Amino acid sequence: MRTDLTWKKRITRWVIAVALLLAGWGFSLVGEQLLGALGLPVWSEGDRGWNYVGVSAFVIFAAGISVFNSTLSEKVRYWIWAAVVVITFVLTCR
| pTM beyond 0.85 | no
d(CA 50, CA 7): 40
For the cut 60, the answer to whether the pLDDT of residue 3 exceeds it is no
Give the pLDDT confidence of 21-48 residue by residue, as tens digits. Answer: 999 999 999 999 999 999 999 999 988 9
Residues 6+ apart with CB under 8 A from 42: 31, 32, 35, 36, 51, 52, 53
Give the pLDDT confidence of 10-20 residue by residue, as tens digits. Answer: 999 999 999 99
User: Mean per-residue pLDDT for 88-92?
Assistant: 85
* pLDDT range class, residue 55, cuts 50, 70, 90: very high
In order, the DSSP letters of the chain are --TTS-HHHHHHHHHHHHHHHHHHHHHHHHHHHHHHHHT--SBTTSSSS-BHHHHHHHHHHHHHHHHHHTTS-HHHHHHHHHHHHHHHHHHH--
